[in-house]
Amino acid sequence: MGRKFFGTDGIRGRVNDAPMTAEIAMRVGQAAGAHFLRGDHRHRVVIGKDTRLSGYMMESAMVAGFTSVGMDVVLLGPMPTPAVAMLTRSMRADLGVMISASHNAFVDNGIKLFGPDGYKLSNEDKRSIERRLSKEPKLAKAEMVGRAKRIDDARGRYVHFAKSTLPDHMRLDGLKIVIDCANGAAYHVAPDALWELGADVIALGVSPNGTNINDNCGSTHPQALRDAVVANQAHIGLALDGDADRLIVVDETGRVIDGDQLMALIAIDQKRRGSLKAKAVVATVMSNLGLERHLHKNRIELVRTKVGDRYVLEEMRSRGANVGGEQSGHIILTDHSTTGDGLVAGLQILASMIDSGKKASELLDQFEPVPQLLKNVRYDKGEPLDDAKVIKRIAAAEKALDGRGRLVIRKSGTEPLIRVMAEGDDMAEVEAIVDDICAAVAAA
């Protein structure tokens, strides 16, 4: 059975257009709540959200859905996605919900669901919830309707958790750090955690108004962070996205560092300390060939998956690996978290700076990336990748790059986009190949 609502990372779309309406959010609450009503204990769901305007509407709708089937609700308010996953486990909840569209603009929203173990739901769970969405819900009797409660110390709990991922003796005294929270879910917790550890903190993107989340700020728009790092002569800059499960770093010179370099540093550090598991890093097909070559030199295997942090995590769990992620900045460290956590990943980078005594520019120049180019082509209808001309152009490009590079073309799982990526030792050839395929897709 195909899934109508769930994509690669939960449910996502433009607000007040199906599936991202209050009515459907309530039905998802009813269906997910009913699916997790197991046993005779009082059932509980934890709900967090980011700072976008529609979060209030979606939160209220989901509260109505969950309570109507007899599940109690704990409301966290604006909190990072990894905080919701962590609190779902620590509060012994049956289910966790994050209302967020991650790095998308405020006009979009989404629903991510976590099981009681803090991991994103399995395909089997999602299929079961999909089936329930097509049926009338079984509502609780009046005396069994759920209660809703907002807790006030959720931020403090997550800050304490994030700090605990560093050694007890470690402090950030003497480090000037710029943190860009994308006007999103981490706008309080990330600066607080860095300040409590002793850093001199300059915070950007910490004035959410409901519509400015990810708006020329955060991990997808690092220019403001670059400018602030250089202007303030900071040691490093950290940029999160709207729900704080991504991290992009800027070194003291203003150079933007992507997730591939971060994974390389963390993995090699862990190998040196004897804590890297499975002798492998799990990443996606989008990670640079330079990362693969660099890890190989350090006797670490790079295992590639489809694009999407859930695929990375599935492979990590299968292999027993503890370091993985995406070039876009999803860094998953399973010794600490069950999902990507931008703040925790950032703290591991800061720990490496302190241990090594090196500047960020020295530490994060792990390898020379192979020239790589990614472009997105928006489409309105049809399946551009099934077009005969597009297929022909792709075949020609693969032949040209054979043995000297890679070509990765895929549909976005969250937007109507075709993503075209090529890499090889000749940048001019890479650009020509990407532009040629993009033109064919646009004309399809």
Q: What is the CA radius of gyration of the chain?
A: 22
pTM: 0.90
The CA distance from 422 to 431, in Å, is 8
Q: Which helix (H) or strand (E) holds 272?
A: helix 259-273
SS3 327: coil
Domain-wise residue ranges, the chain:
11-152, 153-369, 372-443
186-237 pLDDT, tens digit per residue, is 999 999 999 999 999 999 999 999 999 999 999 999 999 999 999 999 999 9
Q: In the CATH scheme, what is the code of domain 372-443? A: 3.30.310.50
CA dihedral of residues 246, 83, 79, 74 (deg, nearest 10): 150
Q: pLDDT value at position 299?
A: 97
Q: What CATH fold (topology level) applies to the domain 153-369? A: Alpha-D-Glucose-1,6-Bisphosphate; Chain A, domain 3 (3.40.120)
Q: Could you read off the pLDDT of 106-117 as tens digits, one per residue?
A: 999 999 999 999
Provide mean pLDDT across the span 423-431. Answer: 93
3-state SS assignment for residue 293: helix
Residues 6+ apart with CB under 8 A from 403: none
How far apart are alpha carbons 270 and 267 in whole angstroms?
5
In this structure, are residues 323 and 311 in contact, taking their beta carbons and an 8 Å threshold?
Answer: no
- Can 11-152 and 153-369 be said to share one CATH topology? yes
Question: pLDDT tens digit string along 125-161?
Answer: 999 999 999 999 999 999 999 999 999 999 999 999 9
151-190 confidence digits (pLDDT tens): 999 999 999 999 999 999 999 999 999 999 999 999 999 9
Q: Residue 2 phi/psi, 5° resolution?
A: -75, 160
In the prediction, which pLDDT does 3 show?
64
Q: Which residues pair with 375 in a beta bridge?
A: 420
Contacts of 273 (CB under 8 A, 6+ apart): none
236-285 tens-digit pLDDT:
999 999 999 999 999 999 999 999 999 999 999 999 999 999 999 999 99
Omega within 30 of 0 (cis) for the link into 167: no
Q: Which amino acid is at 409?
A: I
Class of residue 297 by CB neighbours under 10 A (exposed 0-12, middle 13-18, buried 19+):
exposed
Q: What is the CATH number of domain 11-152?
A: 3.40.120.10
Catalytic residues: 102
* Residue 125 CB neighbours (<10 A): 17
pLDDT at 381: 82
